[in-house]
Structure 1
Amino acid sequence: MDTSLLALLEMADHATPATPLTIDQSHESMRVHRACSIDHCRRKALAFNTLIAAGRIVPDSSRQR
């Protein structure tokens, strides 16, 4: 993936992005923020919900968020 420095800095931010994430951006956000909780990292929460809506993630019903 050829990514500019500005895009990498934006990806590292934990705040909600200014624009909706694409499926690819959501996957990348999940990788970059894998240590983050979706309760505390707005970018990961948005990525998680985007991937659920796209059918790419099916949450485990036995787990608490």
Structure 2
Amino acid sequence: MKYTLNRLIEMAAHAAPDRALPVDDAHELMRLHRECSSYSCPRKLAAFDTLIAAGRIVPDSSRRY
């Protein structure tokens, strides 16, 4: 999926998103924020939660994210 430069800049922010994330955007956010902890990055946490709800990620119950 191709994103405009403005959209990528918006996605790179660490603040919580102001709207629900589409699954494709959540995947891209996980890539853009791969070095962030979901505890310290609200945007990565929102992406992670979106992917869980969509059944794309099944969290490991013994692992802390």
The normalised TM-score by structure 1 is 0.93
Deviation of residue 61 (structure 1)?
0.9
* Residue 64 (structure 1) shift: 2.1
What's 2:16 paired with? 16
Gaps of 5+ in 2: none
Shift of 1:5: 1.5
One-letter amino acid matched to 1:22: P
Deviation at 1:36, TM superposition (A): 0.2
1:1-65 correspondence to structure 2 within 5 Å: 1-65=1-65
What is the letter of the counterpart of residue 54 of structure 2?
A
Please state whether the residue corresponding to 1:58 is helix, strand or coil: coil
Q: Give the percent of matched residue pairs that are identical in Structure 1 and Structure 2.
A: 58
| Amino acid paired to 1:8 | L
1:3 and 1:26 map into 2 onto residues whose CA distance is 13
TM-score (norm 2): 0.93
Output the CA distance in 2 between the equivalents of 1:3 and 1:57.
23
- 1: CA distance between counterparts of 2:13 and 2:22? 16
